[in-house]
Each structure stands twice: as C-alpha cells, then as structure tokens.
Structure 1
C-alpha cells in the first residue's frame, strides 16, 4: 500500500451570505499577499535584505492593529497566514530557479484561499468554514476515506466555486503487467507510442479559436467599467474555461489508460518553458499540454506501483536508428520519415523516437546510464 496525500476537488454552491464572506476572504487574502509582496520586494532591491515568513507574520499582526486595516480582522486569520506561506513558497521557488519572480494577484483573476485544520470543521460528512454557520452545499461527485487535513476554496474567472479537500489515503498498487511503453510527445499527434499507436492532438484551442476571437473583439469594443464589458469578459472567460476543462479531462483519461496498461513508462524530457518562447510553436505547444501529460504520468505511476523514467533531454531519439543504433548527423523538423543509411530500415520519425525512448529508459533502469547519453555536439536537443 502506498500512503499519499490526495486532493479531491468538488464544485459547491454558496448561499448569498457565504458568497459575501468568501468575497471578503478572497479580497483580504489577496490584499495581504500583494502588500507583503511589495514589502519583500522593496527590502530585497532597495535595502539588499531578505524578509522571511516569520518577519512578515509579525508585520501582519501590527498591520491588523491599524485603524484603517480593521477589515482584516473580519476574516479568518488562518487564511491570512496561509497567504503569507504561499508568498514565502513563491519566493523560494524563484530563488531556487523553479519559477519566475512572484507577481501581484488580480481582482478579476482566479481567487483561492487555503484553510488548515483550525480553519474549518468536518462534521457528519459536511464542511463548515470559519466565520460560517451553515455547511457548504457541495456536489459530492465521488467519495473519499479519512478526514480532511486542509481544504482549498477557489473561484475561477467564470464565477464557479470549487473546494479541494486534502486527505491522507492508502492506494493499492495495480496488478503487475508484462508490458512496457516508450512515449514520444508531438504536436499533430499528441502522444506517439513505441507500439506504433498515434494518439491525435484534440486541439481544443484551435477548434475554439474563431469563437474566442469573436468574443475577444466584442470585449475590446466595450467601454471599460461598463456592465456590458463585464458580460463580454464573462463570455471570454467561459470559452477559456471550457477549453481548459476539456484539455484536463482528456489528459487525465489518456494518462490513466497508459498507467493502467503498462508496467514501465519511458518519456522524453522536454524543456517546455524554453520551447514556448518560439513564437511559431508557442500556441500549439501550450494547446497540447506536454507538461501536464508528463506530470500526470509521473504521479499516477508513483501512486499505482508503476515505473516512470525520463530520458536525458540531449538523447538523439529521432536521429538514432532503433534497429541498428546508427545516428544521423542532421535531421530537420520537416522530415517525418527516413531510411537508415547503415541498415536500410525505414522509420517513421515519431515512432522511431518512441522506440528509442523505451530502449534508453530500460537502459537507465538497468543501471547503464551511459547508454542514454551521447556527445552533446552530435546529439542536439531531443526531437531535433
């Protein structure tokens, strides 16, 4: 049994009173985050010193005592402390090179607050948030075992409310299967398997581009601050939400299927953040969601007792012949099939890459790490 921290996400429908309390809570949490982002930024760039969570927590206590900041005492202090922790985590990610510098939260963007165990009650299968007398009207789409350790309440740009419940859960590993797969990621075909199966890219953004462009043009023509502009903004947000929901649903179904069917999953390692800097490919790469596919495969494999391995990003998966191992000097992106000059084998570029990814992944698992690398001068980037 694997013991994991698992989040269950549900939609809920607040009452008018709960909606007012949540609006205040979102606003205060956003204010605290933005206020101390400015404080930490000024200290970092003007005074050359770093402020951590403990110091901001003390400053928050003083801030709440100011007469013009009395509104901060009307919401749960747990939420405000978690907002400071989120800010601290954002700075740590920036300093360690995992993310960009923290940015200010917007009023019209996605709103989110986190309640730890002292900020909510779990009673008779219902959740009561701090400052609320009635339980949340949650649409329980699936069940979970155990008691929540924390909950995160969010409101998206469309105005939908969601609650994410974190619980500690035992997950039973899946039965062992005698099957392995190499996975190459592409644009026309989102996923190409070493078994020569190609899974098309659903291209949700491209299919909705005309509707989205029309809605955005109408939004651009509306007067700022008007009710018509608010309605037009909501239509654009709904289209974006539909695209994101469809892409997420597709990615979850695909990765669950791959994890269920295979014992070993070998995937290429891509620098997606660098690749989306290419203006010609950025939209297509973002639409297919490579990073999400890889992330979902990794954590699901760990949960269910599967083996997940990523090969080195410089491994020449496309230029290497999966039959004899010969490596081409060059292989441009427009070449989708090629014939090996050494053994005469004919290759589909993507299927050949998937087969090489599987071979390299198995070599890594066997401890022969040297087999997964080639001199960078001849390898180039994966998929080059």
Structure 2
C-alpha cells in the first residue's frame, strides 16, 4: 500500500527563492498548456494530449521570453502537464468540470518531483537544482527501509512549507475481522451520532477562533493595498485559518480512525453538502463540521484496513421515519430533537433514531 507522509520543513533563503521560482514556472506552464489546448479545440476541434503539450513546453523553453523555464527542474513542469491531462480525463469522463486556470493568490503553491529529480540518502532529502538537503522536521518516522517514489513540496497561505513523501508502507495491513456494524448520522449539535446511542460533540473550531479572526480581518481591511503592512496582516489572518483547519483535521482523523478500527461496516448518509451549503443561515456551521472530509477519511481508511463504508440514499427520510414501525412523520420540524411516533407511541431522540434508520437501510443494501 502506498502512503504519503507529510512533514514541515524550513528552507534556507536560497532554497526559498528556488522553490518560489519553481512554483511560478509550474503555474505558468499549466496555464499556457490549458490555454493552448482550449484554443486548439475551439478553433480546430482538435483534442490534444500530454505528448503534444510536452512538445509545446520544449518549444517554449527555446524562446527568449520563456528561457527562464530552464532555470528550474524540468520534472515539476512535466508533472504539471500530466496533472492537466488527468484533469481533462476526469472532465471527459464527466467526473469533474472543465479545468480552471491556476491563480497566483488562490491556487495551492506546489511542485511534484519524481525519483529522477531528488536524492534520498541517509534520511536526507535533496531536490534538483539544490546543493543542500532540506531541513525537514521528522515529526514521525518513515517506515523502515522506505524509499520515496514521489516528493511534493508545497507552501500554504500562512507561509508554512511542507514536503510530502510517497512511500510503500508495509504497516498498512487489514485489521482482524469484526462483527460490529454501526450507523452514523451527521449533525451540527453533535458532529456524529452513532446507532449505539453514542454522540460525538461538535468542537466548533471556527466558533472558538471567531473573535480573533474578526479582529485580524478588521485589521487587514484597514491596511493599504499593496503595502508591506497589509502583507503582514494577511499572514496573520491566514495563520488563524490554518490553526482552525489543523485542529479540525486532527479531530476528524481521530474520529474516523476510531470508527474504522471498532467496526467492520460503517453506514453513512450520502449527503449533498454543496446543496446544503445554500442555506445561508447554516453554511458557516456546516462548513466547519466538514462532513465531506470525514466521509473521505472513512472511505480511504476503510480501503486500507479491510473495512466497508456504505452510503445510504440521500433522499431517505432517516430523521422522520420511526425505526420501530416504519411510519414517516411528515409533520416533524427541524427544531424538534425528541419526538414520539403517533403510530406506535415510541419516543425517540431524533439523531439516534436517524442513525438506527441509516444502519437498517445500509444493512438492506449490503
């Protein structure tokens, strides 16, 4: 099983300059190739491939205007063309929308290096066009004898540098089979409610930092555009957002790992979070809950450890259906947390009842 290990590192001024230049070249090549492929289809109805875009890159490097592309490693430039090809393949298969241009301020700054563009020796990582290894903080050990096949360097909006190493991980093995199955209902008051009756409190990371974030954003709005002080204020806002995201991700990792380890099968709702976010009153809280991220974690960890995740139909009325007699209470409103079935007289906690219904629906689909 291949697994990526992500670490923070602190580049020297020379390495910072080289990496920033690489990020800019990667973005430029991606955008030029996207524009050229779009133009070829619009004018001649000609579908181009990675091979043709790679030939364009060779031609661009020979021009005076783009000769600076030769100053960075060619591997990240080729890799970004492969990523563009993957984006077009996803679009043709109707799995994604048409590829978009990369933005200097909004897009993720990253570059991918394959084996020919880095040296891994004695636990030290040296990238192409660099003379010294990266000062990586090894917060956790790599698997013994690990030999990275791909290295991805990135910089977030808060100015932090990260390196991700893709390695074969022999420690990822299927867990012993278990007879336990569980239904999971996502919510806001409780992040998730299990069919066992357990509830996981929603930590609301964004709400905890909301006051600090508001102060930092007001301070940013007062700064003159283009000034050095505005750049400093922007980094302060980005650091608060990064802290919120880090805490949220850590909590979701712990929760998803617990659910996968304890249960052989996990039943979840197939929520359309994009549509739910149209509710402007709850959009901030729903985004902070990160239900989609939790589902992604459950699915890839289930694949790692030999577990199963079943998504129940999003239109199934799990909250309004009595889990005892099956009657649907159409008069149940969103604010009611405890209700009694008018048919059989059973009293329910709304979330626990929904989790039980999700479990039953998932078992029926299995």
Fold conserved (TM > 0.5)?
Answer: yes
**1:329 offset after TM fit, Å?**
3.5
1:41 deviates by 3.1
Q: Which region of structure 1 is more displaced relative to structure 2, 351-360 or 217-226?
A: 217-226
Question: How far off is 1:177 after superposition?
Answer: 3.2
**Map of 1:222 onto structure 2:** 223
- Structure 2: distance between partners of 1:313 and 1:259: 22
Provide the TM-score with structure 1 as the length reference: 0.90
Match of 1:292 in 2: 293
The match for 2:136 is 138
For the residue of structure 1 that corresponds to 2:356, the secondary structure is helix
RMSD across aligned positions (CA): 1.7
Task: Specify whether residues 139 and 330 from structure 1 end up closer, same or farther in structure 2 by C-alpha distance, changes over 3 A only.
Answer: same
Structure 2 residue matching 1:68: 3-state secondary structure: coil
Partner of 1:270: 271
Can you list the C-alpha shifts for 1:93-150, whole angstroms capped at 9, x where unaligned? Answer: 3444433433332323431111111111221222111111211111111222321110
1:35 counterpart = 2:32 = yes
Segments of 5+ residues of structure 2 without an aligned counterpart are none
- Alignment match, 1:379: none
Corresponding residue of 2:4 = 7
Write the distance in 1 (CA, Å) between the matches of 2:130 and 2:164.
18
Q: Which residue of 1 aligns with 2:122?
A: 124
Query: Secondary structure of 2:16's match?
Result: helix
Map residues 230-249 of structure 1 onto 2, 5 A cutoff.
Answer: 230-249=231-250
TM-score by length of 2: 0.94
SS at match of 2:348: strand
* Secondary structure, aligned partner of 1:172: coil
Equivalent residue number for residue 373 of structure 1: none
Distance 1:277 1:52 in 2: 37
* Secondary structure at 2:154 match in 1: strand
Cα shift readout 1:5-42 (whole Å, capped 9, x = no counterpart): 21100111112221111111111111111222222333
Instruction: Give 3-state SS (helix, strand or coil) of 1:202's partner.
Output: coil
Offset at residue 188 of structure 1 (A): 1.6
Partner of 1:156: 156
Matched, 1:58 2:55: yes
Unaligned runs of 5+ in 1: 366-384
Rounded to whole Å, the distance in 2 between the matches of 1:220 and 1:292 is 31
Deviates more, 1:52-61 or 1:282-291: 52-61
Structure 1 Cα separation of the partners of residues 251 and 78 of structure 2: 36
Partner of 1:115: 113
- Residue 319 of structure 1 is matched in structure 2 by 320
Query: Structure 2 CA distance, aligned partners of 1:207 and 1:103?
Result: 34
Give the superposition deviation at 1:317: 1.2
Report deviation, 1:263: 1.9
